[in-house]
Amino acid sequence: MSRIAAAFARLKAEGRTGLVTFVTAGDPSLEHSAEILMAADRGGADVLEVGVPFSEPLADGPVIQRATERALAAGTTLDGVLTMVAGVRSRLRAPVVLFSYANPILRMGVEAFAERAASAGVDGVLMVDLPLEEAGDCRAVYESRGIDTIFLLSPTTSDRRIRQASSLGSGFLYAISRLGVTGSRDTLADGAEAIVARIRAASQLPVAVGFGISKPEHVHEVGKWADAAVVGSALVNLIAESGTAPDLPARVEEYVRWLKD
């Protein structure tokens, strides 16, 4: 059983809603990213998503776009992200998922990337813009290294493609609560529960819901029908506001604990 599968099995056994936290690697620096991951882990995050900065983050809203720009300006690369994860992995309890656009991985080479990722202790990979029809080869390479392949599903995803993602995917499925780009919201999208119900009807994999989640009440609401909530932009914004302040890790840990409580 993978670390991701074990984490969701533990959540189910304990009757808890999981929390997946997303941060952009390299913002404000890779050294700070390592501290941020450890802080989120101490705060109780159940899965740690690490975003690989890319110059054309089409699925991301302004908060994560700006974080990506800062990370790239600081010289962050996929190679550097993998080195950072390798350095901090032994100090993390939660599984690590690398969230990347396809371009950086294809540029490194899928085989070379999978080898590096496995050595670094990466537990899952989500290639946000990789079409399902072209995912089979990547999935086979990742599976051979013990890495879960995670897919995004939106309210407009057909039932056929949900079944396809379920058969190809492992670890969990990431349901987008609404159309559009990432970004925190005051309320959950109306279609979030419906897309989870459709996924449940087609798959036995755990379901995490993201896009727009920023408060404990959002996590509580998501937990009524999904296995985990994903918090990204709100946490990335907190990091942006903190910059390189000495209390950045403490603020991250406090925020994650607040979401969990």
Residues annotated as part of the active site: 49, 60
With beta carbons less than 8 A apart as the criterion, state whether 218 and 260 touch.
Answer: no
Cis previous bond, 62, omega within 30:
no
Quickly tell me which residue has 């995490």 as its tokens: 208
Continuous segment of H or E residues that includes residue 197: helix 192-202
Instruction: Write the DSSP string, the chain.
Output: --HHHHHHHHHHHHT--EEEEEEETTSS-HHHHHHHHHHHHHHT-SEEEEEPP-S--TT--HHHHHHHHHHHHTT--HHHHHHHHHHHGGG--S-EEEEE-HHHHHHH-HHHHHHHHHHHT--EEEETT--GGG-HHHHHHHHHTT-EE--EE-TT--HHHHHHHHHH--S-EEEESSSS-----SS--TTHHHHHHHHHHH--S-EEEESS--SHHHHHHHTTTSSEEEE-HHHHHHHHHHTT-TTHHHHHHHHHHHHH-
With beta carbons less than 8 A apart as the criterion, state whether 128 and 59 touch.
Answer: yes
C-alpha to C-alpha distance for 94 and 97, rounded to whole angstroms:
10
